[in-house]
Chains A and B, each alone.
Chain A
Amino acid sequence: MSATITVDTGPLARFKRRRALLQLAAVSISLFMAVPIYLIAVAAFSTRDGLNQFPQPLWPKNFGTQTMETFLSSTGIVAGTINSLIVGVSTLIVSFLVGAPAGYALARFTFRGKDAYQLALLFTRALPIVVLSVPLARAFLATGLYDTPLAVTLLHTALSLPTTILITSSVFLGVSADVEEAARIFGCTPAGAFLRVVLPLALPGIAASSIFTFVTSWNEVLGATILTFSQRTLPAQVLTSLADSPLAYRFAGGLVLVIPSLIFIALMRKYLLNMWGTTIR
């Protein structure tokens, strides 16, 4: 009883070794994820002569903005970027205006056909874009919508609407109905309670969902390519000019397409898990 315990630090050493291995694994995976982005940045900011060298240096030895400048001044790149922004923002607005009320209804009401409606939402999430794009292109050709940002906006809205509805519904579910009812009891109209109490509380989640919608639209290539001919979005422009453009153009295009994702993920980091955690069940 009085003899002191002889502590065996062996397990502790093994524990620390495991933590070190854990760090090593984490660093390795991080390198796999980050190095390609670093390399495309190096490539995009190399001079044309630099890109012709072989072997290529792994650090920006031949730094120059020539490659990027050439890319940005190529036909359709600026216009494509503008189109992408127009389409992305319009998609965001349309799917929010149409989707948020539906999400609110799913969160707060029971109504006939709710189950069927939710099932339809899940089903549409699973539809490949290409299935919609080809028939829509035919329809848009007939109605004169073909080759307009509006056409692409409509397709992208179709893609993001189910997700918007499901995410906003989970966001509204997260805002307790009691808060809303308290506002009603203290004299707010239903609309007033929604605008003054529910919306401010739901705003961060809705913002995350909006960014997600924008990203989806910004990244979508196939539908945008099928639905346009001259009014390309940026990815559609890059895709259709891949075959007859030099490597330098492709590297610069790759970097320009990747940069927004660095920003999006940084903005959404906090909400990423919540969005996927609650919406998919």
Chain B
Amino acid sequence: MSVVRHNLRSRGRISPAIWLVLPSAVLMIFLFAYPMAEGFRAAFVDPDTATVSLRNWDRMVSDPQFWAAVRNTLLLIVVVIPLQFVLALTMSLILQAKPRGSAVYFYLWAIPLAVSDLAAGLVWLSIFADRGYLNSVLLSLGVQPFSWLSYMSPGTQFMAVATAEIWRATALVLVIVVSGLQGIPKEYDEAASVLGATYWQRLWQITLPLLRPSLQVALILRTILAFQTFAVAQALTGEGFPLLVGETYRWYSALNNSNVASAYALVIMGISMLTAFIYLHVLRDQSRQVTS
């Protein structure tokens, strides 16, 4: 209603909205568009000769750490995200069933939402360290302690990083899924149940399809954020478990080469965008498409 009115009034002159939007647009061009352009330039320019070249990319790919970082990043995403979604869905469905004390549960489960990946890494370090709490418990149970975070044991390194990531980042999925669940009128579930559907039938045929938009948002957001994970791994394993962002940081600070770092940054952006695009394409909603 008011939109129409404003429109009529502002026809023929510049909409007042422009003045409200302008500062943010200027700031975003400065903080996004410029660095992006600059990043592209830096990645494709040879720092010594100042000519366009693929030398930075060559250096990046020929570094053995690069492929380890790609592998670790993808592996972490492929393992952690499905587990997070199963866990977050379970948690949301538990909250949905309103057990006694669900407000307290929700608070406890949401806390990691505000915990940084660095802090999460340090928290789990106290558990996985050689003299940490996990080994302490194992020892008192009569089991031999194990060096979980040692570079000699990449499997347990990965497990530790994955556990910390699941602990930290499931909360984001949880909050999105819970709010999505709250947006589904409970009559759908009730109707299906009166018509004879069991709990699992309702979950698969009613709840999950209706939750699709929330799941899609959570999946995209979570995946993009997962590509940015690095401080967890740094805190737990030092350099022992290279991830793409960690390598970018290493090239920028330790190796002092911002051109190769820019190439890394573009790789990360490229993969995140590609994944988001694939998700959007694969998960598009038929019932909405027909409507529009």
Contacts and interface: CB of A to CB of B under 8 A. Distances in A.
B116 A220 contact: yes
Contacts of B178: 273
A273 B227 contact: no
B220 A126 contact: yes
Interface in B158-204: 167, 175-176, 178-180, 182-183
Contacts of A52: 131
B27 A161 contact: yes
Contacts, number: 295
Interface in B31-85: 31-32, 34-36, 38-39, 42
Contact of B139 (A51, A55, A154, A280): A55
A257 B24 contact: no
- A contact residues, range: 35 or more
B266 to A, nearest CB: 7
- B contact residues, range: 35 or more
A80 to B, nearest CB: 12
B136 to A, nearest CB: 3
B266 A56 contact: no
Interface in A112-159: 112, 114, 117, 120, 124, 126-139, 154-155, 157-158
Interface of B: 1-3, 6-7, 15-21, 23-25, 27-28, 31-32, 34-36, 38-39, 42, 87, 90-91, 94, 97, 99-102, 104-119, 121-127, 129, 131-133, 135-137, 139-140, 167, 175-176, 178-180, 182-183, 213-214, 217, 220-221, 224, 227-228, 230-231, 234-235, 238, 245, 248-249, 252-253, 258, 261-262, 264-266, 268-269, 272-273, 276
Given A109-B16, A135-B35, A273-B175, 9 more contacts: A30-B104, A54-B136, A98-B24, A98-B27, A114-B17, A219-B115, A221-B116, A239-B235, A269-B106
Leading 5 A-B pairs by shortest Cβ distance: A254-B122, A261-B114, A277-B179, A219-B116, A55-B136
16 contacts: A22-B97, A30-B108, A33-B112, A108-B6, A109-B20, A130-B268, A134-B248, A135-B36, A135-B42, A135-B262, A136-B31, A158-B31, A226-B249, A251-B122, A265-B107, A277-B182
